[in-house]
């Protein structure tokens, strides 16, 4: 008695898409830390980043498949941009990882919307020259609501 079950017809999801590639810090991978609920902050963690790198978080409304070497000559063969670059954010990794954040407004209009995310590490040498461009897998995020 006096128990209730709270459920939703629009659950939040974070689905792994594609594969990351191996960079100077090891295999690049992106994983969801939280789920994308309305009125919350979605967080993800990219790992395998080189210590002398910047991380570009790529957010898009669609998926693509473009070799990074077609974008810049420093793109490592086999590394692919999987997300349309509609919004870019730059992060400074701590050690070999970086946590990204996306604030999701508290509006039911976003329920069921799909957003994609990927992290593209940019590796620099001691002189500040770009030496490599790699990529993580992508996440397809379905925004959920109660």
pLDDT tens across 112-132, in order? 999 999 999 999 999 999 999
pLDDT by residue (tens digit) across 29-54?
999 999 999 999 999 999 999 989 99
Q: What's the predicted TM-score (pTM) here?
A: 0.92
Residue with the bigger pLDDT between 27 and 95: it is 27
At 5 the pLDDT is 61
Select from 87, 80, 34 the least CA-distant residue to 59: 87
At 50 the pLDDT is 93
Whole-number Cα distances in Å, 22 to 27, 50, 77, 82, 112: 4, 10, 10, 15, 33
> Which residues are CB-neighbours of 70 under 8 A, at least 6 positions away?
none
CA distance 16 to 109: 24
């Amino acid at each position: 008695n006096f128990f209730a079950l709270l459920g939703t017809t629009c659950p939040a999801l974070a689905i792994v898409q594609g594969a990351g590639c191996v960079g100077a810090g090891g295999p690049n991978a992106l994983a969801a830390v939280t789920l994308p609920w309305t009125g919350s902050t979605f967080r993800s963690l990219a790992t395998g980043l080189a210590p002398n790198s910047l991380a570009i978080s790529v957010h898009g409304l669609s998926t693509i498949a473009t070799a990074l070497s077609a974008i810049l000559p420093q793109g490592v063969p086999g590394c692919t941009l999987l997300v349309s670059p509609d919004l870019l954010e730059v992060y400074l990794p701590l050690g070999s990882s970086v946590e990204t954040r996306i604030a999701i407004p508290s509006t039911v209009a976003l329920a069921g919307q799909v957003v994609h995310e990927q992290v593209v590490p940019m590796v620099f040498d001691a002189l500040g020259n770009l030496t490599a461009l790699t990529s993580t897998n992508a996440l397809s995020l379905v925004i959920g609501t109660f």
